Structure 1
Amino acid sequence: MNYLFLFVHAVQDLLPLEVAITFGLILFALSWVSPRRIVSLPQPGHRTTTLIWAGVAGSLLVVVVATVLSALNVALNDASGFDGWWRRPAPLAAATAVVAFSAIALRRIPLPAPGERLVVPRRLWHAFASRTLLWISGIAAALLALTAAWQIAIATTAPEDAEFFGHVPNYTELPIYMRFNSGYGYLSGAGWPNQLATLLALALACAVFFAVLQADANRPLFARSTAASVRSERELTARLFTFILLGGLITTLGAVWMHTGSMGTAMVGLDEEWVSANASFPRIFVSGGYDMIARPMNLLGYALQAGGVAFLLRLAVDTVRAARANRLASSAASEPEVSASGPRR
């Protein structure tokens, strides 16, 4: 039993749960309880090639960014109190970049000449997007925005000679502190120096998402195009782009909740009296301002960060599976049909 305990601790030291890929791989393995693909692709062409690159390379890029930067959060000692301000929103920023560059690649698809274009009414940006995915993304974005805004609102500055608890960084006059136990002392980790980049990354992601779907929904059509084929390819495109951004959004929300929950779980023990070295120390424990929700938030942060990474890994694998299915279907369709009335032997 002792050897098992030491082994578990050795693995945890090598791959801490704070690192996105650790718990993410476990959830990724569990996701195969349902082997059905979550991705489908249009008929082979330039659009499909772009979507394959976005689904595979883009998803893996976000996973790598989340893994490396969460590992840095564990390895580095934050001496400023806001050192992780750019690392937490990095997965969402990477997902936004993947969608933006994929949309630029889609613009290289040849457009029909003015005389060959099909006249259609202008569509709304969400015309081809899944309503369910939009609701899920909107809820995740709202939770992220509310968390960041709340952490900015509760932050304050602190005098240099104040009592500081928890992880005590180098003193700064920036508003990165929150009051601890009704002004008894201060904890660091809040304020706009920690959360402003998250809000900016979220705003940029929303703007890019809107612009990309708006442009693709109103892309000119060839007059010979059928409504069914156009709707199918654009729905699949919107679905994949939504998946990539949703993966980055959930991963970033998890990182922010891990940080916020960890900061709020700080607990300080005050000795009532000195006793002999052989006796236990009687203590009074005082906690932070939102300690009732801090621990659940911290644990949910672990799950969300890992869930986002697992989702992106599954997205990459299912994109490969969808590409293989497309290739097999195209090969089967191109094979010459064998006549049922062939020569008798």
Structure 2
Amino acid sequence: MNSLFLFAHAVQDLLPLEVAITFGLSLFILSWVRPRRIVALPQTGRRTATLVWAGVAGSLLVVVVATAVSAIAVSTNDMSGFDGWWRRPAPLFAATLVVAAAALALRRIPLPALGERSIVPRRPWCAFASRTLLWILGILAALLALTSVWQIAIATTAPKDGPFFGNVPDYSSLPIYMAFNSGYGYLSGAGWPNHLATLVALALAAAVFFAVLRTDANRPLFTRSSSPSVRSERELTARLVTFILLGGLITTLGAVWMYTGSSGQALVGLDEQWVSDDQAYPRILVAGGYDAIARPMNLVGYALQGGGVAFLLRLSVDTARAALATRRSRSAPAAEYETSTTGPRR
């Protein structure tokens, strides 16, 4: 038992839970309780190759970014009080770049000539997107926006002589502090220097998502194209694009909640009782303004960050599985034709 404890402690030192891949890899393994693929791909064409690239390499890129920035956060101290302003929205920004790159690749697919285009009414941007996924995406985006706006709204400046509690960075005249227990002191970690970049990344992701879905929904069709096949390939495209952004959004929301939850858990001890010449413990502990929700927010943040990484890992693997299944389905008719014309090979 002691050796098992030492092994677990060594693993935690090597891969702390704050690093995104640690919890994410565990949840990814658990996800195989349900082995069914979460994505499918169109049967043929350059669209399929683009979606495979986005689903496999793009998802892994977001995982690498999330792991790298969370590892930096663990291994370094926040000296300014807003060092992590770019790290928390980095997964969402990376997912947005992947979606934008995939959209540019789709735009390079040749369009039908003017005389070969089918005349169809203009579709809304969400014509091929799953309503359920859009609701989930919207709720998570609203939670991220509300958290960031709330943290900006409660921020204030602080006098240079404090008093300061919790993680005390170098003094800054910027509004990065929140009042501790109605002005008793100050905690760092709030304000626009910490959370404005998250709102910018969220707005950019929403704009790119809207533009990509609207452009693909109204892409010209060949007159000989069948409506079911076109609808199927565009629904699959919208689903994969939504999944990539969803993974980045979940991971970023988790990082933000981990940070805000940790910042709100500061406790100040009063009325110390000395039990020896060099040891004392406080009789009264004073908590901050949102201590009641800080701990749950921090724990849910761990789960969300790990869940986002696990989801992206599963998306990458399932996209590769879908590509293999598509390749096999394309080769199956050729094999059947060869067997029917020449007879089975012996």
| TM-score of the superposed pair, with normalisation by structure 1 | 0.97
Amino acid at match of 1:4: L
Alignment-derived partner of residue 142 in structure 1: 142
Q: Quote the Cα distance in structure 2 between the aligned partners of 1:105 and 1:284.
A: 61
Residues 1:166 and 1:341: Cα distance change in structure 2 (over 3 Å)? closer
Q: Quote the Cα distance in structure 1 between the aligned partners of 2:73 and 2:105.
A: 34
Alignment-derived partner of residue 261 in structure 2: 261
Alpha-carbon displacement from aligned partner over 1:283-336 (angstroms, at most 9, x marks no partner): 210011000000000000000000000000000000000000000000001222
**Contact 2:274/2:280, CA 8 A, preserved across alignment:** no
| RMSD value, Cα | 1.6
Alpha-carbon displacement from aligned partner over 1:257-285 (angstroms, at most 9, x marks no partner): 00000000111212344453487634210
Q: Quote the Cα distance in structure 2 between the aligned partners of 1:45 and 1:114.
A: 21
Secondary structure of 1:118 counterpart: coil
Amino acid at match of 1:176: I
Alignment-derived partner of residue 334 in structure 2: 334
**Offset of residue 6 of structure 1:** 2.0
Are residue 219 (structure 1) and residue 244 (structure 2) matched? Answer: no
**Offset of residue 181 of structure 1:** 1.2
Alignment-derived partner of residue 292 in structure 1: 292
Alignment-derived partner of residue 86 in structure 1: 86
Residues 1:279 and 1:315: Cα distance change in structure 2 (over 3 Å)? closer
Alignment-derived partner of residue 306 in structure 2: 306
Alignment-derived partner of residue 319 in structure 1: 319
Q: Quote the Cα distance in structure 1 between the aligned partners of 2:213 and 2:248.
A: 17
Secondary structure of 2:281 counterpart: coil
Q: How does 1:1-345 map to 2 (within 5 A)?
A: 1-277=1-277, 281-335=281-335, 336=337, 338-339=339-340
Amino acid at match of 1:328: R
Residues 1:342 and 1:334: Cα distance change in structure 2 (over 3 Å)? closer
**Contact 2:269/2:282, CA 8 A, preserved across alignment:** no
Alpha-carbon displacement from aligned partner over 1:75-104 (angstroms, at most 9, x marks no partner): 011100000000000000000000001000
Q: Quote the Cα distance in structure 2 between the aligned partners of 1:342 and 1:253.
A: 59
Structure 2 stretches of 5 or more lacking a match?
Answer: none
Q: Quote the Cα distance in structure 2 between the aligned partners of 1:142 and 1:342.
A: 61
Residues 1:267 and 1:253: Cα distance change in structure 2 (over 3 Å)? same
Residues 1:283 and 1:230: Cα distance change in structure 2 (over 3 Å)? same
Identity %: 77
Amino acid at match of 1:276: S
**Offset of residue 3 of structure 1:** 2.4
Residues 1:296 and 1:323: Cα distance change in structure 2 (over 3 Å)? same
**Offset of residue 45 of structure 1:** 1.2
Q: Quote the Cα distance in structure 2 between the aligned partners of 1:141 and 1:91.
A: 14
**Contact 2:157/2:174, CA 8 A, preserved across alignment:** yes
Residues 1:282 and 1:80: Cα distance change in structure 2 (over 3 Å)? closer
Secondary structure of 1:18 counterpart: coil
**Contact 2:273/2:280, CA 8 A, preserved across alignment:** no
Q: Quote the Cα distance in structure 2 between the aligned partners of 1:322 and 1:341.
A: 31
